[in-house]
Amino acid sequence: MSTVSALSVLPNSRDLDARRKSNMLSLAADAKLGRQLRPTPAHLNRAVYIPRHNDNTRHLPIYDVTERYHEAVKDEPIGSSKFKVNLVMMKRPSGEGWDAEARYLIDFTERDDGVEAMVERRTPHVNGETVEAFLPRNDAESFEVRSLSHSHSSPISLTTSYPVPDTKTTDRVIRHPWLTIAQEKSQSLPATLEWQVHPREHGALRYTLVDSEASKTDEQPAIWAIYHHKGIGIFLPHEYTDGVLLLSKYLDDTTEALVVATLLGLLRQVRQVNKPARRPSLVKRILGKV
């Protein structure tokens, strides 16, 4: 290769300077908003993609995208402007099975009193872990999950709380529910876990699964999973869900399936509590003024 050809493939110094300035401006803007952002924690070494779906979805595959996630976001802090753009640009699995492995298959079944979700972990040559979640139709504050792979497992109750103040926009109020998972402590999972959202510190597009009772001196990490929406909006959309779930290497198959099931239930609750109230028809609005 000639000297001229070799130089042509080197990055332009002006381009590098422009990128550095752009990154600095992005970080400065995030800091001004009060963001406390960090790159992907090393122990969250598995990434799965939850394709776009809504309350009418009946079948949902969840894909392993660990390699393409890290190629896309690199060392960008989770929730930063650059991270969100890179995540949006990450190529989605085709759905044909040749470019990404389906790690989970979820079936949703409508019942008179709610929705039943069956979460099955795909494992070659053996039956994978299966978790059942029941989401009551008239109760947006709680639901249950249980493992069907273990005959003696008891249902795990999950309760919703709202420790974070609602966000008021010009046309509606955005609620930010937390989800508490209380169960018996096991070797692979703490007794008290919470899906938490911190709109100011992390942005409202992220949910973090944390051990709410862990201290900084514990050997196990306090963060067990992170979900981030695949989009560049400000709030999670109420019309659909579409994002990436980062999972801890310390989760075994059973607890990982439980984490996936609880997240799907939580995101459904987020959509439900943030649906705008139905406006009366034009005729009713006109008659109401008469």
- What is the spatial distance between Cα 226 and Cα 196, in angstroms, rounded to a whole number? 10
Residues in the chain: 290
Q: How confident is the model at residue 261 (pLDDT cuts 50, 70, 90)?
A: very high
* pLDDT band at residue 182 using 50, 70 and 90 as cut-offs: confident
Q: Is the pLDDT at 4 greater than 80, yes or no?
A: no
Reference 274, options 244, 214, 229, 215; nearest CA is: 229
Domains defined along the chain, listed by start: 40-273 (3.20.90)
Is the pLDDT at 103 greater than 70? The verdict is yes
Give per-residue pLDDT as tens, 45-56: 999 999 999 999
Span 268-274, average pLDDT: 93
**Range with lowest mean pLDDT among 76-85, 101-110, 250-259, 279-288:** 279-288
pLDDT at residue 153 greater than cutoff 80: no
**Mean pLDDT value of segment 69-86:** 96
Query: Can you tell me the mean pLDDT for 207-214?
Result: 88
Least confident of 193-202, 212-221, 238-247, 269-278: 212-221
Local structure of residue 165 (DSSP, 8 states): P
Q: What is the pLDDT of residue 32?
A: 58
Q: Which of these ranges, 19-28, 87-96, 161-170, has the smallest mean pLDDT?
A: 19-28
Report the pLDDT averaged over residues 244-259: 94
In DSSP notation, 25-64 reads: HHHHHHHHTT----PPPTT--EEEEEEEE-TT--EEEEEE
Pick the closest to residue 211 from 253, 242, 255 (CA basis): 255
Q: Mean pLDDT highest for which of 45-54, 108-117, 168-177? A: 45-54
The arithmetic mean of pLDDT across residues 194-201, rounded, is 95
The whole-angstrom separation of Cα 213 and Cα 217 is 12
Contacts of 36 (CB under 8 A, 6+ apart): 201, 202
Q: What is the pTM of this model?
A: 0.84
- Single-letter code of the amino acid located at 6: A
Least confident segment among 136-140, 157-161, 167-171, 273-277: 136-140
> Which tops the pLDDT comparison, 257 or 139?
257
* % the chain with pLDDT above 70: 77
Of the candidates 89, 109, 91, the residue with the CA atom closest to the CA atom of residue 100: 91
pLDDT value, residue 56? 94
The answer to whether 81 and 91 have CB atoms below 8 angstroms apart is no
pLDDT of residue 84: 96
Query: d(Cα 43, Cα 208) in Å, to the nearest integer?
Result: 14
Measure CA 215 to chain center: 24
Q: How confident is the model at residue 7 (pLDDT cuts 50, 70, 90)?
A: very low
Between 165 and 6, the higher pLDDT residue: 165
Look at residue 37 in the predicted model and tell me its pLDDT.
92
Q: Is the pLDDT of residue 263 over 60?
A: yes
pLDDT computed for residue 9 by the predictor: 46
Rg over alpha carbons for the chain, rounded to the nearest Å, is: 21
Residue 262's SS3 state is helix
Strands 46-53 and 241-247: antiparallel
